[in-house]
Structures are given as structure tokens and as C-alpha cells.
Amino acid sequence: MTKQVITANRLDDGLAVFFDTHANWSASITEAAVVEKGEEADTLLATASNADNQLIVVGPYLIDVDQQGGKITPVRYREQIRTLGPSVRPDLGYQAK
Amino acid sequence: MALVKNNLVVKDSWVKVDDEGDLPAGDILVSLTRWTEDRDALLARKGQVGVCLKSDENPEQILQDLSFFQVIALEFPAFTDGRAYSYARLLRERHGYKDELRAVGNVLRDQVLLMHRCGFDAFEIKAPDEKALQIWLDAQKEMTTFYQPTGDGRKTVMSLRQRKRMARGAS
Amino acid sequence: MYKYDDYDQQLVDERIEQFRDQVNRRLSGELSEEEFRPLRLMNGVYLQLHAYMLRVAIPYGTMNSAQMRQFAYIARNYDKGYGHFTTRQNIQFNWPKLVDLPDILTELSKVQMHAIQTSGNCIRNTTTDQYAGASFDELEDPRPWCEIIRQWSTMHPEFTYLPRKFKMAVTGAPNDRAAVAIHDIGLRIRRDEQGELGFEVMVGGGLGRTPMIGKTICEFLPKEDLLSYLEAILRVYNQFGRRDNKYKARIKILVHEIGAEKFAELVEKEWEEIRDSALHLPAEEIEEISAHFTPPPFDVLPALSSSFSEKVGQDEKFAYWVQNNVREHKQQGYAIVNISLKPIGGIPGDISHAQMDVVADLADQFSFGEIRSTHEQNLVLAHVKRDDLYAVWLKLDEYGLATPNSGLITDLIACPGLDYCALANSRSIPLAQRISERFGELDRQHEIGKVQVKISGCINACTHHHVGHIGILGVDKKGQEFYQITLGGRADENAKIGKIVGAGLSTDEVVDAVETLINTYLGLRESKEETFLDAFNRVGETPFKEALYGAR
């Protein structure tokens, strides 16, 4: 079973965001709604891509994640970098907090 | 859908005709295919004729026939397909085409000024009349400074500078 | 350098208001992202992994101190305190908000800067020799021609929706520092038999998936015909360039598919029609624009400077820096200073706001207020008195800008890669940092001598890795970063595409592999004067390949 979450970039400031369980966009992947790849994921993506959301974010898409305990980690390192920030600047991005 | 021409929304009296079937009366717009196949029949009928070119149909193919057309419509299948900008300039500036040059297809607010600079004088805009006219009027006002000489008659920066130089020289 | 007149300023101001309106229409939903994307790109706004990115044009890599200070201001107030100089002589900010971008552009316009056409399928910022106007080997300063091209190409109504992006470069010197042969159009100023200056025109160079060296389609173009000839090339390309496949849409593919001769014929035919049009450049216009680039008021100085020689003798660190980062100037008593943005283990091309201010101050104090950016992601003070070099060096050194590695192995060129870029397949910067650290020891770098290492994080080849002496391309192999090495490329007047040397290497292997290549070179070179590239050209790839992969 592949788990997925929806990510996008926020329209006004461009930051990476994640579609959460309340159908809002969150800056933290830990709040993302985790769904099964397939129909469930596609349905959620349709909601995340609707006209209202097009005014909040740019280009929503699904990413594969590992879920262990409360922790959600993207599978691909590209997406890991998006949830953290530039690997060469630990002082910047979400990882800086 | 509205047709904007000469700062007005005008009624489109031209009927688009399929590649098959009878030719209706009145002014008609045909494809390049239809024109090539039914040239004689099209010329024999009453009423004016215009041709609509797809973006991969270079006007080179109709240069001999320009005098027969009262409208040439150039299609933008997507606003990112910019071939028709070159076609328009060539038709106007090199081949002396004087009648209506119509932009059709994906004709959007942020491109109509560029189209006008290249010689289009009619724009088929997918919007209600009032909105379409506003789109055209807004777009036209956005830029007033132009570097490139085209056939649109707008003054270029280079010509304005030259005039300044001459004025300086005269005084 | 060029100063806007009222017309130039008005165009930029109008463009900002147009963009402000486009941003508002996107935010209100009147424009879809699909419609907005090409519009924002045409104004240098990308959406990257973490945020928006703004690419600001530095026309042909020349800027003044006020402009540099404005970059510092923007970095401090709208970004995260730094900027990144790119391989096309521009600067990028990595964290601006979309809602702030119109205001940022307004701030830039106050110092005659803009982001027009720094992306999109249109004519991009023209690049040139970073030593233009200062180098002794130059036939003519290429920058007036770059400025003439800048104006002609800015918001060109016919060429704003080309099949693909379009890049031009101009060199005024026979020693090509502008890599003109790997541009869509490369212009080389040369002399004809009568001694007149004009342009050799090359077309269809480019890297990416299908790397190609440009082909000369005109041996000698009279200067006053430059714009009509460029318009002819672009018009042929706009009509006949492929639009069915993004990867085959660059002009190089058209030139390749129909052949350079046929392409030249089409251009010639088109050109004949427009040669005497309003594009013909009046002598007064050329003069007026060239007048902006007259040499600064140099002092008359002796050839030798005793105070300079004294400092070189006293301070070994300074001497090292002079040997590596200072170049000969055409004006007696002056020198060209290369400011390294490649500290050992640092991020190539990155510069903090404080460093920007320091460079601006130095330019004002010692180099007629002028600064250059280079396609190697460094900066240049083009006109420094030899007597002032020590003072300049002290200040640069204090701010970490005096790494004496210009042209050496740690002067690596690297794209932002997957640390920032949405297109990248792998990271570039961490690899650059590790190579830099591996070879960081100064004596060793000097022993190795001149060698260019270029690292791209994807096949778009922003760092021109195909023409690096050692090129490294990052690829993604089943979720892992791998690096493919090419050898023997060069971007100068003898431009050549390097050869892929073998299978991709893992992150763990690749730094060792570079060291193996360097050790192989050191082992087989005939003398210290024989550079890496010379040695490679003499012996071929086999010894290097065997050293990397074993004899097979």
C-alpha cells in the first residue's frame, strides 16, 4: 500500500505547502492528509485542485510518503528537500525553525 | 465571442464554412484546404471571401491570391504559438495586404497589443462584448514606448531620438 | 556604462505596471496559472522548490555600484540576505513573495534595472566578455552592440512567443571569454581585408540534450546591418523552428535538420528584403550608444609601480592573489581584478548583502564605480590602479572575497541544482563544495594549474558542463543521485563538446573520481606548462578512462 499526500506551492509567497485533513493548506507535512494511492488519492487531488484552491496554491500534486509513528517523510529526496529547505543552507527554509 | 475592430465591437458578418458541403450566400471564411480545392467555385459566387490559416500554414501559399481576400484570419491555436506574428508582418509590410487581418483562436489580453503591432486589426476575443472591448482598450494603453520599427505606424524610440538630435542640431 | 534616457526609463516603468496588473489578475483569479506562467517567466519570475525566484537582468554583465547596492537592499528587505550570480551574468533572489515582486521591480527600476525577458521563450539577456573595455586583446568594446541588441530585443512584438528561449553572446576579442559558439547566436567582432570591423555570425550553438557548436553563416556582417540580420534570423526561426517537441524547438535543431547552408540561404533571402529598412542603424545612433562606453578617465601612470612590487615582495598571500586573480589591463598602470565568489567549501556564485555593499564601495573607490559579473559566477573590478591593488585585496580578504583561485580547480561552476531548482534531477552545490574542500589546499591547486570543472544538476546544462574541461552532469537513477563525467570540452574560440567518459558515479564515488582524473593528469603531463586540457588533447581519453574504470 503506497501512502500519499498532496503538496503544492502557495500562490502568494511560493512556499511549499501540504493539503491537510481539514482541506486547508499547511506549511507542515506532519499535518498533511495521508491517503492511499489510487482512487482515494485522486479524489482528494481533485478537491485540492478545484477553482477555489487555484486561488490559494499553484500546481497541486501527489507525492509518495512513508508514515511511521506521527512522522511523515516523503520518499523522493526532491520532496524531502522541499519539506526541509536547501540542504546546503540549514539556516533557511522549514528546517531552520 | 466578440469581434473587436477599430476600437469598437463590430458585428461579425462573416460565416465560417466547413471544408465539405454547399457554399452559403453572403461573406464567407474558408480554410486553406477549401480555398485550394474550390477556388473557382469560390470566385464565381457573389459575396466576399476570406481565408483562415492555421498556424502551420504559411501565407507564402496564398501570396498570388491576396487580392481576392477581404479577410485573412490567422489562428493562434495556443497563445504561446507565435508564428502568426511573423505571418502578419510579412502580409502587411512585405506583401501589401490592406484588408482585414483577424486574430482568431487563443487571443488574450496580454497578447493583443503585440498582435496589433504586427499588423492585426481585428481580434476575435472570447468574452462578452463589453468585456472584450475593455480588454482591448486596457491592453492598448499599457505600453507607449517601442524600440522596434514595425508597420504599425507607432513611433520608435530610435526615430524619436533622431528627431531630438535634429532639433539639437538646428538650434 | 549605459545610462537610460527618458524612453528607456518609461518602457521599464510601463512594464512594471503591466506586470503589477498581471500579478493582480492572477491573485484575483482572472488569469489562470497556465496563462500567468509565461507572463511571469517573461519577467524573470520562476516558481522553484521552496519559493518564487526572481532573476534580474544584468545587461551584458556590466553594473554600477548603485545597482549593486540596490541588490543588497533587496536581499535584506525582500529576501534572505543574499543573492546568487548565474552563468548568464544575471543575479537571482531565491525567496521573494509574489505579492512583493512588483515593488521589488520598482526598486530595481530606480537604478535602471529590470527583469524583462530573463526567462520565457523570448530573446534573453545578451552576454559578453567580462573584461570588455579593459582587455588588451580586444578589437572593440562589444558592449555598445549588446546594448543595441538589448533595446531591439526588448518586448519585440514579433519574437515574444518563439518556439523556445533564445540566447545571444558577443565577443570583441579573439580570445573568446563569452562562449559565443554555444549560443543560439554568437557574434564575434572581426576585421575584414579592408580593415573594417564587423561581425562573424554563428548560429545554432547550444547545449542541453543535444549539444552543438554554432555554425558560421556569415563571415563578415557590416555593423550597420546588425539588427536587420538578427531580425532575419529570428524571423526564419519563428516561422520554421519546431513547435511539436519542446526538446527539438531550439534553433540548433532547425539549423541541424535543414543544414547550415540552407539555413544561411533562408536568412540571406529574408535579409535582402529588410536590409535597407528602418532597422538599418544610423551612424549617429551607433555613436550615441557607443558614447556611453567610452573608456573612463584613466590617469597616466608609469608601467612599474614600486609600492605594488614592494607589497608583492612582503606579503605572500597578496602575491598569490595577484598571481591568480589579477589580469593585465590595456591601460598602463591599471589591472583587472577578479573577485572570487568561490570560497573553499562555499556555494558558487552566492554573495551576501554585506559583501555586495563592500564590492560596491570598492568599485566607487577604486574602479570608476563599475562592476562586472562573469559567466563563471564571479565578479570583476575592471579598472584598478596597480598601486591600489593592495588596498582592494585587504578589503576583499576581510570579507571572504579574495580566494586566490580564479581559473583553478576550486573556481567551480555549479548550478543551484536540486537544493533550489524545480527542474533539477540532482544536487550540484554539495558536490561543488566537496570538490572544493578536497582541493582546497592552495599549493596543490597551483600545482594542478588551470582547469575548469562545471557541474549541472540536469540536462538543461545551465553551467555548460558539456564544455567544461571536466564536466559533471547530475542524473536521477531510481531515486538516487548519480553523476556522469565528460572530459575535454571547452567554451573558448576553439569550442568543443566534451566526451562522456563512462558510466555514472555515485555521490560517494564522484569526488574520488575527480581526484583520480587530476592525479592521472599530473602523472602524464610533460611539464607544468601543459594544462589539463592540453594533456587531454595530447593523450586522448584512454588513460583517464582506464584510471577511472580500470583497463577493459
Q: Which of C29, C49, C420 has the CB atom closest to A55's CB atom?
A: C29
The string of pLDDT tens digits covering residues A32-68 is 999 999 999 999 999 999 999 999 999 999 999 999 9
User: Which domain range does residue A40 map to?
Assistant: 3-96
Q: What amino acid is encoded at C264 in this protein?
A: A
pLDDT computed for residue A97 by the predictor = 72
The domain limits of chain C are 6-61+76-109, 127-290, 309-398, 413-549
3-state secondary structure chain A: CCEEEEEEEECCCCCEEEEECCCCEECCHHHECCEECCHHHHHHHHHHCCHHHHCCEEEEEEEEEEEECCEEEECCHHHHHHHHCCCCCCCCCHHHC
Nearest to C409 by CA among C344, C362, C459, C358: C344
Q: Is A51 an 8 Å CB contact of chain C? A: yes
pLDDT computed for residue C551 by the predictor = 60
Q: Is C203 an 8 Å CB contact of chain B? A: no
Contacts of B162 in chain C (CB under 8 A): 282, 284-285
Tally of CA atoms within 13 A in the half-sphere of A68 that contains its CB: 4
| Section B141-168 average pLDDT | 94
- CA separation, residue B8 to residues A55, B135, B136 (Å): 33, 11, 9
Residues in chain C with pLDDT values less than 70: 551-552
Q: Is C47 an 8 Å CB contact of chain A? A: yes
Nearest to C382 by CA among C296, C493, C307: C296
Round to whole Å and give the CA distance between C253 and C166: 13
| Section B145-162 average pLDDT | 95
Q: C370 pairs with which residues across the strands?
A: C64
Q: Judged by CB atoms within 8 Å, which residues 149-178 of C form the interface with B?
A: 151-152, 154-162
At A97, list the grid cell: 525553525
Handedness of CA B90, B93, B96, B98 (dihedral sign): positive
Contact C359, C401 (CB under 8 A): yes
Contacts of C279 in chain B (CB under 8 A): 149
Q: Which residue has the cell 561552476?
A: C413
Contacts of A60 in chain C (CB under 8 A): none
Is it the case that chain B and chain A have 3 or more CB pairs lying under 8 Å apart? no
Q: Is C39 an 8 Å CB contact of chain A? A: no
Provide ipTM, 2 decimals: 0.97
Residue of C50, C350, C429 for testing the chain A interface, max A β-carbons within 10 Å? C50
| Section B8-28 average pLDDT | 93
Cβ distance of C278 and B142 shorter than 8 Å: no
Gap from C21 CA to chain A (nearest CA, Å): 15
The string of pLDDT tens digits covering residues C404-414 is 999 999 999 99
pLDDT computed for residue B21 by the predictor = 85
Residue of C49, C429, C480, C506 for testing the chain A interface, max A β-carbons within 10 Å? C49
Gap from A17 CA to chain C (nearest CA, Å): 9
pLDDT tier for residue A69 given thresholds of 50, 70 and 90: confident
Number of neighbouring beta carbons within 10 Å of residue C265: 14
pLDDT computed for residue C468 by the predictor = 97
pLDDT computed for residue C400 by the predictor = 98
Can you state the percent helix, strand and coil of chain B, rounding each to 5?
A: 40, 20, 35
Gap from C450 CA to chain B (nearest CA, Å): 43
Strand ranges, E, within chain B: 2-5, 8-10, 15-16, 28-31, 49-53, 69-76, 100-105, 122-125
Residue of C5, C123, C161, C166 for testing the chain B interface, max B β-carbons within 10 Å? C161
Q: Which of B142, B147, B160 has the CB atom closest to C152's CB atom?
A: B147
Number of neighbouring beta carbons within 10 Å of residue C480: 12
Q: Which residue has the cell 512594471?
A: C16
The DSSP annotation for C401-429 comes to ---S-TTSTTS-EE--GGGT-TT-SS-SH
Q: Is C507 an 8 Å CB contact of chain A? A: no
At B169, list the grid cell: 542640431
Q: Which of B108, B144, B159 has the CB atom closest to C35's CB atom?
A: B108
The string of pLDDT tens digits covering residues C440-477 is 999 999 999 999 999 999 999 999 999 999 999 999 99
CATH of domain C413-549: 3.30.413.10
Whether B36 shows a pLDDT value over 60: the answer reads: yes
- CA separation, residue C430 to residues A13, C414, C511 (Å): 26, 10, 11
- CA separation, residue C334 to residues B142, C321, C364, C432 (Å): 47, 16, 16, 33
The string of pLDDT tens digits covering residues A7-25 is 999 999 999 999 999 999 9
Q: Which of A13, A75, A88 has the CB atom closest to C419's CB atom?
A: A88
Q: Is C126 an 8 Å CB contact of chain B? A: no
Contacts of B85 in chain C (CB under 8 A): 157-161, 238
Gap from B32 CA to chain C (nearest CA, Å): 18
Contacts of C479 in chain A (CB under 8 A): 75-77
Neighbours of chain C (3+ CB pairs under 8 A): A, B
Round to whole Å and give the CA distance between C234 and C9: 26
Contact C185, C201 (CB under 8 A): yes
Q: Which residue has the cell 557574434?
A: C187
Q: Is A16 an 8 Å CB contact of chain C? A: yes
Element (H, E) at B9: strand B8-10
The string of pLDDT tens digits covering residues B98-141 is 999 999 999 999 999 999 999 999 999 999 999 999 999 999 99
| Section A71-93 average pLDDT | 96
Neighbours of chain A (3+ CB pairs under 8 A): C
Q: C190 pairs with which residues across the strands?
A: C198
- Main-chain dihedrals φ then ψ at residue C187, nearest 5 degrees: -115, 130
At A50, list the grid cell: 478545484
Is the domain defined by B2-143 classed in CATH 3.20.20.70? Answer: yes
Cβ distance of B118 and C157 shorter than 8 Å: yes
Report helix angle C429-438 to C507-524, nearest 10.
Answer: 40
Q: Which of A51, A58, A81 has the CB atom closest to C49's CB atom?
A: A81
Number of neighbouring beta carbons within 10 Å of residue B53: 22
Which one of 3.90.1150.10, 3.40.50.2300, 3.30.413.10, 3.90.1200.10 gives the CATH number of domain C127-290? 3.30.413.10
Q: Is C97 an 8 Å CB contact of chain A? A: yes
Q: Is C276 an 8 Å CB contact of chain B? A: no
Give me the sheet containing C82-85, strands edge to edge: C45-47, C52-56, C91-93, C82-85, C350-352
Q: Is B110 an 8 Å CB contact of chain C? A: yes
Which one of 3.40.50.10420, 3.90.480.20, 3.30.420.480, 3.10.50.40 gives the CATH number of domain C309-398? 3.90.480.20
Nearest to C513 by CA among C471, C475, C451, C464: C471
